[in-house]
Amino acid sequence: MNGKQNGRKKPWGALLLWGALSLGLYAVVFLKGDAVQGFIAEGGVGKAAIVVAVAIIFSLVHGNFTGAFFEALGIRAKGR
Amino acid sequence: MGPKEVLELTPFMLVFLPTLGFLGGLLSGFIGSGGAFVLTPGMMSAGVPGAVAVASNMCHKFPKALVGAMKRAKLGHVDVFLGLVMGLSATAGVQVGVKIQKWINQVWGAAGSNLYVSTIFVLVLLTVGLIVLRDAYRSKNQQVVVVEPGKLAQKVQKFRIPPMLSFPVAKSKVSFWITVPLGFATGLLAATIAVGGFIGVPAMMYILGASSFVASGTELVIAFVMGLTGTLSWAYSGYVDLRLALLILFGSLFGVQLGAIGTSYVKDYMIKLVMALVMLIVMVSRLVSIPVYLRDLGKLALAPSTAELLKNLSFAIMCLALVVSGVIILGAIAKGRRAARTEELRGISVEVPQQP
């Protein structure tokens, strides 16, 4: 790690953006949890595709948030 | 309870699942695999039916692997082509493995099937775990890091029946006729012992000649492919509980990022050491539950209270595996960051006198 890396700008904007989006997604699924689960539990090709799509959207949005979270804390991979 | 009924989420699940998810994610980000062995029984102990627990665990696995693979790819630890070839062959292996499982279930019943799975689990994890542990110990004591593949991998690479597959990141060129059957065999075993990564990572290291960094990073691509196909199959039957999967994912996406960051602070042997320790602790956990299956088959007399104690002990040991690995990984990150800061300060102090 060098000085330039340490002085890297903290991604506060990205943290807030991805954090708000992630919170929004979790709020939708958990406030409407029973309805969402009732719908998914019917099974079938369409519902399976929806489950996969939702999981990927969550992983990208929440994954970007957790990435920005550690970056903001200054915990980042050491350059090899 | 059938899959069509909506499970009630308890406050315990809201805290327990993201916590287990974090620890499992930390391990996955670091060694490419792990967490599944404790998440499924963990969910079942919280009142989730077995099939829903397996399905929801699968549904959290592939998005977590996706995020982990993206992070590890930035560190140069992922051979996407190798991951796809191994992942697709392993998926085919799982299909055959599931059929064998069903046949054993029909012939020996649930208790017999449990005993069979546990015996294979203990034998495989004990053997592979000891090989990885010995290798970790040897690597630790080496003054110079050996980048050449091992003897077995060198022999495998001499087998040149076309088509030959080139894996640029793994720095390996292996025949299709070795790679695909190897992937298939890992899938076959994964269907039995449900921890595919414990087979896939050592197979890539010792048979295909990948480093522990590339093998553990590439395992995340395999986990993505296998998790995706598994989720499609379970979700088609309506068994995935999206809320449970997303609760685990909430914690595991923090963990997987941190685990991936951790690999940049450690030496090669550390990944092997964590993997070997987890495999051996989980093996002991399963060993402890074998008397219960023997009792269920009528081969051993065991008081109900003893059986219950053994079951709880088995789960506690599994949790211990996650905690031990978590402590080692977080400790390695903290140590690595301290060393990096010291290096940086030394750099500054050397630079100052050189200035005019």
At B295-337, the pLDDT tens digits run: 888 888 888 889 889 988 988 998 898 899 999 999 988 998 8
Full domain range(s) for residue B88 = 15-346
pLDDT of residue B90: 94
Instruction: Give A21-62 pLDDT, tens digit per residue.
Output: 999 999 998 898 888 888 988 889 999 999 999 999 999 999
pLDDT of residue B228: 93
pLDDT of residue B84: 96
pLDDT of residue B190: 83
In this complex, do A40 and B238 lie within 8 Å of one another by their Cβ atoms? Answer: yes
Q: Is residue B295 in some structural domain?
A: yes
Q: What is the ipTM of this complex?
A: 0.90
pLDDT band at B1, cuts 50/70/90? very low
Cβ within 8 Å of B, A 28-47: 29-30, 33-34, 36-38, 40-45, 47
**CB-CB contact of B83 with B218 (8 Å):** yes
Q: Is residue B333 in some structural domain?
A: yes
Mean pLDDT of A63-73: 95
Mean pLDDT of B138-154: 73
All residues of chain B having their beta carbon less than 8 Å from the beta carbon of residue A43 are 3, 235-239
Residue of B nearest to A53 (CA): B63
Q: Is residue B237 in some structural domain?
A: yes
All residues of chain B having their beta carbon less than 8 Å from the beta carbon of residue A18 are none
Residue B284: which H helix or E strand, with range? helix B268-296
Residue B172: which H helix or E strand, with range? strand B172-175
All residues of chain B having their beta carbon less than 8 Å from the beta carbon of residue A44 are 236, 238
Q: Is residue B351 in some structural domain?
A: no
**CB-CB contact of B261 with A66 (8 Å):** no
DSSP A16-50: HHHHHHHHHHHHHHHHTHHHHHHHHTT-SHHHHHH
**How many domains are contained in chain B?**
1
pLDDT band at B347, cuts 50/70/90? confident
DSSP B84-149: HHHHHHHHHHHHHHHHHHHHHHHHHHHHHHHHHHHHHHHHHHHHHHHHHHHHHHHHHH-SS---S-
pLDDT band at B145, cuts 50/70/90? low
Instruction: Give B51-100 pLDDT, tens digit per residue.
Output: 888 899 999 999 999 999 999 999 999 999 999 999 999 999 988 988 88
- At B153 the three-state DSSP class reads helix
Cβ within 8 Å of A, B 146-175: none
Of the candidates A2, A43, A52, the beta carbon closest to that of B228 is on A52
pLDDT band at B142, cuts 50/70/90? confident
CA distance linking residue B193 with residue B116, whole number of Å = 10
Per the model's pLDDT, the better-predicted residue between B141 and B17 turns out to be B17
CA distance linking residue B191 with residue B98, whole number of Å = 6
Q: Is residue A3 in some structural domain?
A: no
In this complex, do A26 and B246 lie within 8 Å of one another by their Cβ atoms? Answer: yes
Residue of B nearest to A50 (CA): B235
Q: Is residue B122 in some structural domain?
A: yes
Q: Is residue A77 in some structural domain?
A: no
Q: Is residue A78 in some structural domain?
A: no
Per-residue pLDDT for B277 more than 80?
A: yes
pLDDT of residue B73: 95
Of the candidates B6, B63, B261, the beta carbon closest to that of A38 is on B6
Q: Is residue B220 in some structural domain?
A: yes
The token duo for B44 is 């079942």
Mean pLDDT of B335-352: 76
A2 touches chain B (CB under 8 A): yes
Dihedral in degrees, nearest 10, Cα atoms A25, A30, A31, A35: 110
Mean pLDDT of B252-278: 93
Q: Is residue A1 in some structural domain?
A: no
Per-residue pLDDT for B161 more than 70?
A: yes
B333 touches chain A (CB under 8 A): yes
pLDDT of residue B356: 41
pLDDT of residue B148: 64
CA distance linking residue B54 with residue B58, whole number of Å = 6
Q: Is residue B6 in some structural domain?
A: no
Full domain range(s) for residue A20 = 12-72
pLDDT band at B198, cuts 50/70/90? confident
pLDDT band at B355, cuts 50/70/90? very low
Helices (H) and strands (E) in chain A, counts: 4, 0
**For the stretch A42-79, what's the b/e string if a residue is b when 16 or more beta carbons lie within 10 angstroms of its beta carbon?**
ebeeebbebbbebbeebbbbbbbbbbbbbbeeeebbbe
Looking at every residue in chain B, the average pLDDT score rounds to 87
Per-residue pLDDT for B276 more than 90?
A: yes
Instruction: Give B87-136 pLDDT, tens digit per residue.
Output: 999 999 988 988 888 888 888 888 888 888 888 889 998 999 999 999 99
**Amino acid letter at A14?**
A
pLDDT band at B45, cuts 50/70/90? confident
pLDDT of residue A2: 43
In this complex, do B7 and A37 lie within 8 Å of one another by their Cβ atoms? Answer: yes
**How many domains are contained in chain A?**
1
Q: Is residue B152 in some structural domain?
A: yes
